[in-house]
C-alpha cells in the first residue's frame, strides 16, 4: 500500500503531535488514491484500499469493530440496530483504525512501543471519529453544500442525505467547520443531578405528597456550536411553553424566537426545532428534539 509516510505521521500523532492533522492527512491521501471527489463517500471502495475486504452488518453491543482476517486484511462489522447513517459513521471509524494498526506494526518493527497506555487508546478512538467525519463529511463538500444557504434544519437534513450521514454527525461537523453562525442543540427529557439523587432515594408509597417526585424536563444533551457562538450550557432545560417543547409534543417542526436565561443577559435566539426520536442500544425509543439556533446579530 502506498502509505509510506502514513505510519510515521500517526506514530507522532499518538505521541501528542498534531494528531488531528495527521489523521486528516491520512484520510486525504486515501481520498486521492481512490479519486473520491463527491459525496456520498463510497466506503466499500475506500475500505478496499485499506485492506478491508468486506463491510457487514452484525449483532453486537458496540457500534462497530475491525476484525483482522488470517492471511491479511480486515472485515469491518457494524451494528445492525443502528441507523444507516450511524452504521456508515462506524464503518468510516473502523476504516480509520487501519491507519493506526499499520502505524503500530511499523512501530513495533522498530522496537518503538506506542501501545498499551489507556489514554493512547482513548486518543485513538477520538482520532478515528475525527477521521470518520473527515471521510464522510469532508470540509470541501460541506462548505460547498452549506455556504450559499442560510442555516436551517431542512438544509441540514438535505446535506446529511447527500453525504449519507446521520443528522447528528452532520451537525457536529458543520459546527466544527463554522460554516454557519449557529448552534445545534439536541434535547431529551431528563433530570437535574439533584433530582436524580432524589429519585434514587424515592419516598415510600403513600409518602410522595410530602416530597413530590421531580418531573423530567426537556434538557440539552448535546450542543454543537460554531466558534463565536454564545455559550449554551449542557443540561439546560426548556419550559413547556417553548416551541422546543411543542416540537416534542407534536412530534413535528416548530419555529419561534426564544429567550433563554443563560448568564447575565438573556439570549434571544431564532429557533427551528424538529422532533428526531431514535431507538437506543437497548431497543427503547427515545424522544428527542433537534434545534438549530440561529444567533441574531446585535442591535
Q: Which is nearer to Zn ion, 43 or 128 (CB)?
A: 128
In sequence order, the β-bridge partners of residue 77 are 56, 65
Q: Which is nearer to Zn ion, 68 or 203 (CB)?
A: 68
For residue 220, say if its preceding peptide bond is cis, omega within 30 degrees of 0. Answer: no
Q: Which is nearer to Zn ion, 128 or 276 (CB)?
A: 128
CB of 133 to Zn ion, least distance (A): 13
Establish how many alpha carbons lie within 13 A of residue 150's alpha carbon, considering only the half-sphere containing its beta carbon: 7
CB of 94 to Zn ion, least distance (A): 7
CB of 123 to Zn ion, least distance (A): 11
Q: Which residues are within 8 A (CB) of 78 and not within 5 positions of it... i.e. 6 or more apart?
A: 55, 56, 57, 58, 63, 64, 87, 90, 91, 94
Q: Which is nearer to Zn ion, 126 or 157 (CB)?
A: 126
Q: Which is nearer to Zn ion, 100 or 141 (CB)?
A: 100
User: To which residue does cell 498534531 refer?
Assistant: 18
Q: Residue 260 — left, alpha, or beta (φ > 0 → left; ψ -120 to 50 → alpha)?
A: beta
Mode of pairing for the β-strands spanning 52-58 and 237-238: unpaired
CB of 27 to Zn ion, least distance (A): 15
The site map against Zn ion for 272-291 (x = CB under 5 A) is --------------------
Q: Which residues are within 8 A (CB) of 205 and not within 5 positions of it... i.e. 6 or more apart?
A: none
Phi/psi of residue 169, each to 5°? -65, -40
Q: Residue 214 — left, alpha, or beta (φ > 0 → left; ψ -120 to 50 → alpha)?
A: beta
Q: Which is nearer to Zn ion, 125 or 251 (CB)?
A: 125
Number of residues lying near Zn ion (CB under 5 A):
2
Residue from 187, 162, 186, 159 nearest 173 by CA: 159
Q: Which is nearer to Zn ion, 112 or 125 (CB)?
A: 125
What residues between 103 and 142 interact with Zn ion by CB under 5 A?
A: 125, 128
Q: Which is nearer to Zn ion, 44 or 125 (CB)?
A: 125
Q: Between helices 5-14 and 84-109, what is the axis angle to 10°? A: 100
CB of 97 to Zn ion, least distance (A): 6
Q: In whole angstroms, what is the distance from residue 168 CA to residue 129 CA?
A: 13
Q: Between helices 19-34 and 118-136, what is the axis angle to 10°? A: 40
Judge contact between 141 and 165, C-beta under 8 A. Answer: no
Binding positions for Zn ion, rule: CB under 5 A = 125, 128
Amino acid at each position: 500500500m502506498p502509505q509510506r509516510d502514513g505510519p510515521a505521521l500517526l506514530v507522532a500523532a499518538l505521541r501528542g503531535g498534531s494528531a488531528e492533522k495527521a489523521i486528516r492527512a491520512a484520510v486525504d491521501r486515501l481520498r486521492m488514491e481512490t479519486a473520491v471527489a463527491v459525496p456520498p463517500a463510497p466506503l466499500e471502495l475506500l475500505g478496499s484500499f485499506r485492506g478491508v475486504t468486506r463491510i457487514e452488518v452484525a449483532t453486537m453491543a458496540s457500534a462497530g469493530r475491525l476484525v483482522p482476517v488470517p492471511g491479511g486484511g480486515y472485515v469491518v462489522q457494524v451494528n445492525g440496530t443502528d441507523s444507516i447513517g450511524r452504521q456508515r459513521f462506524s464503518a468510516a471509524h473502523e476504516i480509520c483504525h487501519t491507519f493506526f494498526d499499520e502505524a503500530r506494526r511499523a512501530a513495533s518493527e522498530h522496537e518503538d512501543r506506542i501501545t498499551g497506555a489507556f489514554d493512547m487508546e482513548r486518543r485513538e478512538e477520538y482520532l478515528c471519529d475525527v477521521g470518520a467525519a473527515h471521510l464522510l463529511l469532508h470540509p470541501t463538500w460541506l462548505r460547498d453544500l452549506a455556504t450559499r444557504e442560510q442555516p436551517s434544519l431542512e438544509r441540514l437534513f438535505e446535506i446529511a442525505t447527500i453525504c449519507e450521514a446521520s443528522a447528528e454527525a452532520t451537525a457536529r461537523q458543520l459546527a466544527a467547520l463554522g460554516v454557519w453562525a449557529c448552534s445545534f442543540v439536541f434535547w431529551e427529557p431528563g433530570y437535574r443531578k439533584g433530582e436524580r439523587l432524589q429519585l434514587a432515594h424515592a419516598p415510600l408509597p403513600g409518602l410522595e405528597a410530602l416530597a413530590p417526585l421531580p418531573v423530567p424536563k426537556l434538557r440539552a444533551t448535546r450542543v454543537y456550536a460554531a466558534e463565536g457562538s454564545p455559550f449554551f450550557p449542557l443540561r439546560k432545560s426548556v419550559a413547556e411553553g417553548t416551541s422546543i417543547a411543542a416540537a416534542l409534543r407534536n412530534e413535528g417542526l416548530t419555529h419561534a424566537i426564544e429567550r433563554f436565561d443563560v448568564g447575565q443577559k438573556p439570549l434571544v435566539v431564532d429557533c427551528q426545532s424538529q422532533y428526531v426520536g431514535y431507538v437506543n442500544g437497548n431497543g427503547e425509543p427515545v424522544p428527542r428534539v433537534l434545534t438549530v439556533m440561529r444567533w441574531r446579530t446585535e442591535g
